[in-house]
Amino acid sequence: MAAEGGGAAGARPARRLLIVSLAAAAGGAERSMLLLARELPRLGWQPVLACPPGDLADRARAVGAEVVETRWIRVPTISARQAARKRYPVHRMAAALAASLVNAARVALLARRRRVDLVLSNSAAAHPFAALGARLARRPAVWHVRDIVEEGFGRRLLGLASRLTAAVIAISGPVAATVAHPRVRVIVNPIEPSPPSQAPPWRNGGPVVGFLGRLDPPKGIEDLCAAAAVVDAHFVVVGAPLNAPAGYVEGLRLLAEERAPGRIAFVGPVAEPGTALAAFDVLAMPSRMEPWGRVAAEALAAGVPVVAAASGGLPEVVRDGVDGFLYPPGDVPALADRLSRLLGDPELRRRMAAAGREGAKRFDPRAHAAAAAAVLDEAVR
């Protein structure tokens, strides 16, 4: 297969890229990867995705990627966000090592059978075994790192395993800072805003502040409930828990009713982000630690100003005072102040909406793929 449109690949035959993903569903990291997989063939790379059967595999086929349904053995001991606090019993470490070795052997076998030129890991827990498997198959490996790994054993292990890779792609500066590797390239995620799949039912005639994402403790939804007590608006929380402890969401509902009775609605997840964003006047992102901020980028592209905590990679997405406001993480009065300023000034919202749409062009999937393909090309050289 010849590369289309020349680009960095010229007229050479397409190289083959094995993408390793542990996910069966298409979350934010996987949606970014799918956009990359869709764009790579015109740049001389044919993606082969190895992932469990499910929604992600179906979506990958829809964008033209070859899919090898692979049931990876779960490696449960490495926690991307709690590496400093998690305990590692000897028996679990032994089980994790055994699982990683089996998975690495599978990566090596796939790399040889599919005649790939490079292995790209898209899941944090897959990074070590994908790199080892690529080394066993005598192929270079590249990591696409999407998490901020806290200091501790997990980060040290990641640094050791990174020595097996040719390069690392990080989605933000704070993410890059957690990986000790001489060739780390920061390439922001691509987005392709989705239109509303149906008319959102959450508007009641007044202004709406929305939250969209996982209902997990790092997202800071408690801060939003506290801010709602003093902000004159209707609040809508869209999403479902992923890693939350038992009873967490019910606790949020009780807190919401205590702080702002009748003004905070929990509506569950939506199929497409555009459905939720179409109902919001302002998007709130009170995350305590956000590796990048995909939802914020999608909101800006949809013309929705964002009030976000200045945590992790969010300052690289939201331009303070231009297309939204940033505030110190955990500062509830500051969150309430920024929300009130935006809601009380329609002209400011219009200016920020226009700036957001224009600025979101920097998240173009074609530009992202070109930058990523340059890293892959260099790695195989």
> Residue 162 in contact with residue 181, Cβ under 8 Å?
yes
Identify whether 200 is part of a domain: no
Residues 285 and 155 in one domain: no
User: Which one-letter DSSP state was computed for residue 162?
Assistant: G
Q: Which domain holds residue 300?
A: 208-362
Query: Quick check: is 117 in a domain?
Result: yes
| Residue, of 239 and 158, whose pLDDT is higher | 239
Question: Are residues 172 and 305 both part of a single domain?
Answer: no
Question: In whole angstroms, what is the distance from residue 286 CA to residue 242 CA?
Answer: 17
The pLDDT > 90 percentage for the chain reads: 79
Q: Which residues on neighbouring strands pair with residue 68, listed in sequence order?
A: 50
pLDDT score for 8: 47
Pair (19, 142) in one structural domain: yes
Instruction: Please check whether residues 215 and 178 belong to one and the same domain.
Output: no
How sure is the predictor about 204, in pLDDT bands with cuts at 50, 70 and 90? low
For residue 201, is it within any domain? no
* Tens-digit pLDDT profile for residues 33-42: 999 999 999 9
Residues 370 and 338 in one domain: no
Token pair 């690949």: residue? 9
Same domain flag for 312 and 372: no
Same domain, 298 and 369: no
The per-residue pLDDT of the chain, averaged, comes to: 91
The domain total for the chain is 2
Torsion angle (degrees, nearest 10) of CA 156, 159, 160, 165: 160
Tell whether 354 is covered by a domain. Answer: yes
Read off the pLDDT of residues 299-347 as tens digits, 9 standing for 90 and up.
999 999 999 999 999 999 999 999 999 999 999 999 999 999 999 999 9
Same domain membership, residue 35 and residue 144: yes
Q: How much is the pLDDT for 76?
A: 64
User: pLDDT tens digit string along 1-53?
Assistant: 333 344 444 456 789 999 999 999 998 899 999 999 999 999 999 999 999 99
Whether 114 is in a domain gets the answer yes
Q: The domain spanning residue 98 has which CATH number?
A: 3.40.50.2000
Q: Kindly state the tokens that stand for 186.
A: 């920061």
Based on the domain organization, do 302 and 341 belong to the same domain?
yes
Same domain, residue pair 12 and 146: yes
Q: Is residue 196 part of a domain?
A: no
Same domain? For 253 and 296 the reply is yes
Q: Mark whether 245 and 339 lie in a shared domain.
A: yes
Inside any domain, residue 48: yes
pTM attached to this predicted model: 0.89
Query: pLDDT band at residue 216, thresholds of 50, 70 and 90?
Result: very high
pLDDT at residue number 287: 97
Residue 252 located in a structural domain: yes
Q: In the predicted model, what is the mean pLDDT of residues 355-364?
A: 97
Is the separation of the CB atoms in 348 and 341 below 8 Å?
Answer: yes
Query: In this predicted structure, what is the pLDDT of residue 6?
Result: 43
- Per-residue pLDDT band for 150 (boundaries 50, 70, 90) equals confident
